[in-house]
């Protein structure tokens, strides 16, 4: 597991924009939240890929401030971002593109949009952070570093795979 952080919005190394790629707020209750998180996470064994309706309810209750944003390309859902805002930090809880949108040059700008939104979620945030694992897309950590995140912790973990 690799943990990365950005401690100032000026550390963002924005990617070139991608015409038609947008990030819009998504209601917590939207059926797109579990649907897209499950589809994004299935190739990587994310818990969201096998979460039950009760599991989703529990996951939402973990942080009542948890918020979501839909990544879309020309109006078509392309991915999702889940945020856990706190008083002095924002965790990007989940970030990913749907499988059909991977490998099309969208990841850098999608992450740029996600980071900008993270900084907007808490006026007092001193950092934005996330974690990734070796089970995630092989380019994920490279994209995080390219956008300006720095690694602050790594740890060996185990997890059950489906």
Q: What is the 3-state secondary structure (H, E, C) of the chain?
A: CEEEEECCHHHCCCCCCCCCEEEEEECCCCCHHHHHHHHHHHHHCCHHHCCCHHHHHHHHHHCCCCEEEEEEECCEEEEEEEEEECCCEEEEEEEEECHHHCCCCCHHHHHHHHHHHHHHCCCCCCEEEEEECCCCCCCHHHHHHHCCCEEEEECCCCCCCC
CA distance 110 to 49: 21
- pLDDT above 90 coverage of the chain, percent: 70
Q: Phi and psi for 141 in degrees, rounded to 5?
A: -60, -40
CA distance 149 to 6: 5
Average pLDDT over residues 80-88: 94
pLDDT band at 160 (very low <50, low <70, confident <90, very high): low
Task: Report which of 67, 54, 64 is spatially closest to residue 27, judged by C-alpha positions.
Answer: 67
- Identify whether the C-beta of residue 108 lies closer than 8 Å to the C-beta of residue 143: yes
Instruction: Tell me what pLDDT residue 2 has.
Output: 92
pLDDT band at 162 (very low <50, low <70, confident <90, very high): very low
pLDDT band at 59 (very low <50, low <70, confident <90, very high): confident
Residue 48, Cβ neighbours under 10 Å: how many? Answer: 25
- Mean pLDDT rounded to a whole number for the chain: 91
CA distance 77 to 95: 13
Residue 21, Cβ neighbours under 10 Å: how many? Answer: 20
Average pLDDT over residues 5-30: 96
pLDDT band at 32 (very low <50, low <70, confident <90, very high): very high
Query: Minimum mean pLDDT among 51-65, 86-100, 103-117: which range?
Result: 51-65
């Amino acid at each position: 597991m690799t943990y990365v952080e950005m401690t100032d919005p000026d550390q963002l190394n924005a990617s070139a924009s991608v015409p038609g790629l947008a990030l819009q707020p998504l209601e917590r209750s939207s059926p797109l939240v579990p649907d897209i998180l499950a589809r994004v996470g299935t190739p990587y064994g994310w818990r969201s890929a096998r979460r039950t309706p009760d599991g989703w309810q529990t996951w939402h209750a973990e942080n009542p401030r948890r918020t979501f944003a839909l990544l879309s390309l020309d109006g078509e859902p392309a991915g999702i971002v889940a945020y856990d805002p706190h008083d002095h930090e924002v965790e990007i809880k989940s970030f990913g593109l749907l499988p059909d949108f991977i490998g099309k040059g969208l990841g850098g700008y999608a992450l740029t949009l996600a980071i900008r939104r993270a900084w907007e979620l808490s006026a007092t945030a001193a950092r934005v952070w996330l974690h990734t694992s070796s089970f995630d897309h092989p380019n994920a950590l490279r994209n995080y570093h390219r956008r300006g995140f720095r690694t602050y912790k790594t740890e060996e973990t185990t997890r059950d795979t489906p």
